């Protein structure tokens, strides 16, 4: 097949070639993203995967102190918000910047 015949074929059926190209690009991008998902270790943190029902229940059942956004804005409410903010900030500062322990299960609170 000559080059001009190939160009003519692509020109005549450009919509089909465009659809095929888009599907091919989507498959390649999906393969790359899945390989990054597995090789980066993110898949180990994903609790929505099958087989993690018991761990998911443990994580969801943990009571966490939250700030009530309803109610008046007064000195007591602002002090309560500041106390909770400082507590969270201390937890985040305790993790470190670029240490291996920053992403372990205990620091991410994935273990019961």
pLDDT value of position 97: 65
Q: Which of 1-5, 19-23, 63-67, 72-76 has the highest mean pLDDT?
A: 19-23
Cβ 109 vs Cβ 62: under 8 Å: yes
Q: Break the chain down into helix, strand, coil percent, rounded to 5.
A: 65, 0, 35
> Which residue, among 24, 22, 106, 27, has the nearest Cα to 59 in the 3D structure?
106
**Reported confidence tier of residue 96, pLDDT bands at 50, 70, 90:** low
pLDDT value of position 6: 85
pLDDT value of position 58: 65
Mean pLDDT, residues 4-28: 92
Q: Which of 26-35, 60-69, 94-103 has the highest mean pLDDT?
A: 26-35
Mean pLDDT, residues 23-52: 84
Mean pLDDT of the chain: 81
pTM: 0.43
- Judged against a pLDDT cut of 60, whether residue 62 lies above it is answered with no
Joined tokens for residue 19: 């659809």
């Amino acid at each position: 097949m000559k080059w001009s015949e190939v160009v003519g074929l692509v020109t005549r059926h450009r919509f089909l070639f465009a659809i095929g190209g888009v599907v091919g690009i989507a498959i390649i991008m999906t393969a790359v993203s899945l390989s990054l998902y597995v090789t980066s270790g993110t898949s180990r943190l994903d609790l929505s995967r099958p087989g993690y029902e018991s761990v998911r229940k443990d994580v969801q059942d943990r009571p966490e102190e939250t700030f009530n956004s309803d109610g008046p804005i007064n000195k007591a409410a602002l002090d309560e918000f500041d106390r909770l903010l400082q507590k969270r900030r201390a937890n985040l500062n305790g993790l470190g910047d670029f240490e291996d322990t920053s992403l372990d299960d205990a620091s991410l609170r994935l273990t019961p």
